[in-house]
Every structure is written in C-alpha cells, then in structure tokens.
Amino acid sequence: MSTLRLGLIGIGNIGRHHAEYLLAGKVGRCELRAVCAPNPVKLEPWKERGLAVWTDAGAMMRSGTIDAVLIATPHYQHTSLGIEALEAGLHVMVEKPISAHKADAERLLKCAAQHPKQILAGMFQLRVEPRYTRIRELLESGRLGKLQRVSWLITDWFRTDAYYSSGGWRATWRGEGGGVLLNQCLHNLDVLSWILGMPSSVRGFAQLGRWHNIEVEDQVTAYLEWSHGATGVFITSTGEAPGTNRLELAGSKGRLVLENNKLTFLENETDALEWSRTATVGFSKPAVTEHDLPFENHPAPHAALMDNFVAAVLDGAPLIAPGADGMHSVELANSMVYSSILGQSIQMPLDGAAWEAELQRRIRDSRFEKTVREVTTDDFAQSFRR
C-alpha cells in the first residue's frame, strides 16, 4: 500500500476540521475518500467536493473502498465503531476519549489486541506540542531532580450554555459519559499521565452542573499521589473566564512553570533535599538560576497526529499516541468523578466495572431534560488548546 484510503465518521465540529486539512493535502500519502454522517443533508456539501458519502458507518467500513477510519463521533460510539472497524480489517484513528468509560476502553483495546496487524491510535494532539515534549524531556533527563509536586490549574476551558445545547449527547451521562474531565480536560489528563505516569491514588471533588444546566461535572478539584513520591492537584472548570492555565512541577533541583505560553525553569544550584540535609543554617535556600525556555506552538497538531498514523500503517513507524495509552486519561477522568461520588480516594487501577455500573445507574435514573438548539460553532477553532 502506498497511500492510505481514509473514511471519516462524523462531520461535526472536529470532523469538519479533520476533513478540511485532509482535503487540503496537509497529510501526505493519505487520501480522504469518504465521509459518513447519519443525516444525508449534511453529506451533500461533501459529495459536491468529490467524496463518497455514507449514512451507515458499517456499510462504509465493509465497502472495500477504504483502509482506515477516523472516528469523530460522540464518545460511546468510539468503542462500538472502533470495534466494528477493527473487525472489518481497518486501521483506526479514534478521537479522544478512546471510549466513554474504562470498561468500554478495555473492550476496544481487547479487540485491538486480537487484531495486532492493525493500528489503533488516539487523537491526543498535545503530544506534538513543543511545550509538552520539552517538559517531558526535562523530566526524563533528571534535570528537575526528584519530583516532589505537580499542580495543574486549568480553568480556561470556558464553555457557554449554547455550547452544551449544540448536541443532544453533550454533558449527559447517556450521551457523553462525563463532563469537563472526559471531554475538554482529557487532553491535559493525557499529558499528565504521559509525562508523569499514572498516579497510585486519586481523590476527586467534582461538582455536577455547578455553572451550567448540565448533569455532569463542570468544576473539579482532584488530589493525586504517585508511587514515585510526588503529589499533585488538578483543578479545572468550564464555568470560569478568563480562567487560568498554569502547570507547575516542583522537583528537588528546581521548579518548572508553564503559563501564558511561557515556559520557565528556576534551577537550584544545589539539590534542595541535599541542601536541607547538609546546611548548617536554618532558613536560607539554594541559589537559583532562571532559564526561559522558548518554544513555538505546533502549527497543525491534528494533522501531525494523522501524519504519524499514516506512517505507522505504511512504514511501521512508532505511534505518538497509541490507542492503549488512551486508557490512562479515561481512567483518570472516571476516577476523579467516581471518587467524588463515593466520598473517598480511589486506589488505582480503577475498577472499571464498578464505574460502569454507577454510570448505568445514573443513566437509568436520570430526570435531566436536555435542550438542543442550532448553535453557531464558527468560533470552534478557538477551543484548541494552544
């Protein structure tokens, strides 16, 4: 195979974005051949642009006209369509989250393991952003010393009521499976697990529908512990503006801060724990050198992940975001909410079946009345985390 023939499932906000850069030829050796949406009217413009159109994703998958799918539908369908695509012999790039909850993610990954020659990747585009690759490299190099504390205050995922009304699936247990953690912040939870590994315990305090008329969480504070000794807090909201995005990592050799598109490393000239053990005075700290670590934002992170997906299929290149890694962010999002509901810490790994049972109970008992209306989403591109 010299070119990957791709079918796109779901042409909502992000599906349209994917279609545009693919049709503009931004991903080499990848030909967008077909799009699928349940509503034929929405398919008309794509038909006019020369694409095959389908209202039934299964029929598209089994048509023999595509080698891979990009799934850009609401969350629960990521699992069902992902499994269907793998069973049809296709490679799969699935939008985040890889599934609506951990038990579903396990089902999807089990199916992928049964089809080892096919690629399953997740759309976690922050992994190509230089600010995060730089932080990851610094941690791996040991330059921060022993990691002591992480805090991520990420409250600038502001969303309006109109946003939540723009789709029947949004912000419901039945359609989305969670709120700010599972949707917006999932990218940050992916980065957190990617740079630090999974925590050993999670205690979440999640407020459901605190700032919007929704039934899922839109404000969360979580406390995390890692077996390597670090502790952390993760705070998020979709109800706060202007909001903050500050990631701070404190190690024995210094403090790294990412805020306002600026990465700064305050480097201790002596390891602080060593200083603490050996100093003969009581209050002074090691001398510090400040380093500004300039970076550029990636110009097209989604296209970069698709480019890597194509290289994985055609050349056997390693994936930047393997599907299996997608489990981590789902598990963190689920754990923070479940811990809050239980009123106690969750020792990881999370019992996925227990959370699924709780979720099913919530879906069954829901009295939530969802309002859906046509909403302009022309400002969607502003939602991409820069």
Ligand X SMILES: NC(=O)c1ccc[n+]([C@@H]2O[C@H](COP(=O)([O-])OP(=O)(O)OC[C@H]3O[C@@H](n4cnc5c(N)ncnc54)[C@H](O)[C@@H]3O)[C@@H](O)[C@H]2O)c1
- For position 14 contacting ligand X by CB under 6 A, the verdict is yes
Stretch that binds ligand X, among 6-14, 43-51, 201-209, 212-220 (CB under 6 A): 6-14
- For position 96 contacting ligand X by CB under 6 A, the verdict is yes
Q: Which of 227, 276, 229 is nearest to 253 (CA)?
A: 276
- For position 95 contacting ligand X by CB under 6 A, the verdict is yes
**Nearest-angstrom CA–CA distance, 383 and 386:** 9
**Nearest-angstrom CA–CA distance, 144 and 370:** 47
Least Å from the CB of residue 360 to ligand X: 20
Pair of tokens at residue 102: 């951990």
Least Å from the CB of residue 10 to ligand X: 3
- For position 75 contacting ligand X by CB under 6 A, the verdict is yes
- For position 36 contacting ligand X by CB under 6 A, the verdict is yes
Q: Residues 61, 72, 171, 222: which binds ligand X (CB under 6 A)?
A: 72
Show contacts with ligand X in window 100-129 (CB under 6 A): 123, 125
- For position 335 contacting ligand X by CB under 6 A, the verdict is no
- For position 167 contacting ligand X by CB under 6 A, the verdict is yes
Q: Residues 99, 155, 165, 183: which binds ligand X (CB under 6 A)?
A: 183
- For position 10 contacting ligand X by CB under 6 A, the verdict is yes
**Nearest-angstrom CA–CA distance, 287 and 305:** 41
- Collect all residues with Cβ–Cβ distance below 8 Å to 318 and sequence separation of at least 6: 312
Closer of 196 and 333 to ligand X (Cβ): 333
Q: Which of 367, 75, 99, 339 is nearest to 206 (CA)?
A: 339
Closer of 30 and 230 to ligand X (Cβ): 30
Q: Which residues are at the interface with ligand X (CB under 6 A)?
A: 9-15, 36-38, 57, 72-75, 77, 95-96, 123, 125, 167, 183, 384
